[in-house]
Structure 1
Amino acid sequence: MATSPTETPVRDAHKASMLVRFTAAPDVTSEQYDETIRRLEQSGDWLPAGLEFHVAFMSNGNFRVSEIWDSREQFDAFGKRLMPVLKDVGIELAAEPQTREIHNIIKR
């Protein structure tokens, strides 16, 4: 692994890693997101096994989340615990999560 910004990044090939992207319905707020994370932490479900990266941001008026998971199975298992929390907090997704198999991950 590269240890300074001037070193060449190292290829980190995850054979079964996957990218997951969620888009929330337009009325979802950062406060609802924060409450979801708080509840997951309180229940011991955060950080879930297999989650490598989690990025939450606003884009075009919608709250979005992008994640990298070690496997589809780990994502699916966490999703079963996540969905009731989202419903309870009032978060609806704009569509089903998009999933893509990752070909390559490069870390600095």
Structure 2
Amino acid sequence: MENKKRVMVEFDFPGMSVKEYDQIWQDLRKAGYEHPKGLIHHAGAPTDKGVKIVDVWESADKFNEFGSALMPVLQKHGVKEPKPSIFPLHYEYNENKKPIM
């Protein structure tokens, strides 16, 4: 049975540059993942250690399905398998929508 509760997924990619991050997105787009199924919000930001990613997904299942496309691209760029933190979403605000609780 599919878990349909939205989740927030957080990744840290130590040592990754924004140039590498951009190249990974370019490769995902070329592979047909310009709009990954189930991805609601995505944000990537440089940190003093690398790049931090925060996503909101329709469900943990949708995020895990995307992993089959993401992992080969990360491996191509020499990125070690990330250890995401996954949290059930409690509250979401989008300026174009009403809050979701």
TM over 0.5: yes
Percent of aligned positions that are identical: 26
- Which protein has greater RCO, CA pairs closer than 8 Å, 6+ apart? 1
Structure 1 residue runs of 5 or longer lacking an equivalent are 1-14
Q: Does 1:80 align with 2:94?
A: no
Matches within 5 A, 1:1-108: 16-25=5-14, 27-92=15-80, 96-108=83-95
The two structures have a TM-score, normalised by structure 2, of 0.83
- Structure 1 residue 50: Cα displacement: 0.6
In 1, Cα distance between equivalents of 2:47 and 2:16? 12
Counterpart AA for 1:74: K
2:39–2:57: 8 Å Cα contact kept in structure 1? yes
Structure 2 residue runs of 5 or longer lacking an equivalent are 96-101
Moved over 6 A (4+): none
Aligned length: 92
In 2, Cα distance between equivalents of 1:78 and 1:51? 9
